Amino acid sequence: MATELGLDRACDWMRLYAAEIAAQKEYLTQLDAAIGDADHGINMDRGFTAVRAALDATPPFDLGALFTLAGRTLISTVGGASGPLYGTAFLRLGGALAGKTAAGVEDLAAALALACDGVAARGRSACGEKTMLDAFGPAVEAFQAAAGRGRTLMDGAAAAAAAAEDGARATIPLRAMRGRASFLGEHSIGHQDPGATSTALLFRALATVVAA
């Protein structure tokens, strides 16, 4: 059980997430086919395959470098909204954790909050609009609550993963207010948001790595 997210473990997080995206690529694409361009899983898999290759080619020297590399790689390789939104999240993480080789629960909670704010600003969106924020926002709130109560990094990551998964499922009855899905109006109701789903996978991968 990790008390801090060290550089090696953070790299494992990115690699595990890449593997989870590859495994869930078809599912994510099916979700996107119902309300979007049917390419979310394909695009995310392309992006995180590139992230994994970039990590192998240029091993990062600290957490800031790791997440900045991930963010820049996603922006340059992922099409649609996913590249800019996920890229912004990781760039914000990189900026918050620059110069650090390890982050405790409070540091990571603060960095994830900045990442979430970056996604909201980039997408001009908020929770409740059937986007990735509906998973990211609750995950950050759960992580911050755990940190505020003096809980461990593992507790915070587990709580964030559960909150993100609940948030993703909670998008099913929502009407989409942003992106291509918003063009469907009432017809977007009844479908789980693919971006929220991939965000839930991100936090589940973090919880898995921290608990290992």
Rounded Cα distance between 27 and 94, Å, is: 29
Say which amino acid occupies 184.
Answer: L
Tell me the two tokens of residue 96. 């918050």
Distances (CA, A) of 145 to 3, 35, 105, 141, 158: 17, 33, 10, 6, 12
The fold of 5-211 is: 1.25.40
**Residue 103 bridge partners (DSSP):** 5
CB distance 113 to 97 below 8 Å: no
**What's the pLDDT at 35?**
85
DSSP single-letter state for residue 176: P
Residue 139: its pLDDT value, please?
A: 98
Q: Kindly report the three-state secondary structure assignment for every residue of 101-125.
A: CEECHHHHHHHHHHHHHHHHHHHCC
Tokens of 51: 């992230």
Residue 183 is predicted with a pLDDT of: 62
> Which residues in the chain show pLDDT less than 50?
none
* Start-end of H helices in 58-193: 63-77, 82-96, 105-123, 133-148, 153-169
- List pLDDT tens digits, range 104-127: 999 999 999 999 999 999 999 999
pLDDT confidence of residue 42 = 95
Half-sphere exposure of 133 toward its Cβ, with a 13 Å CA cutoff? 27
The CA distance from 94 to 69, in Å, is 8
According to the model, what pLDDT value does residue 92 have?
98
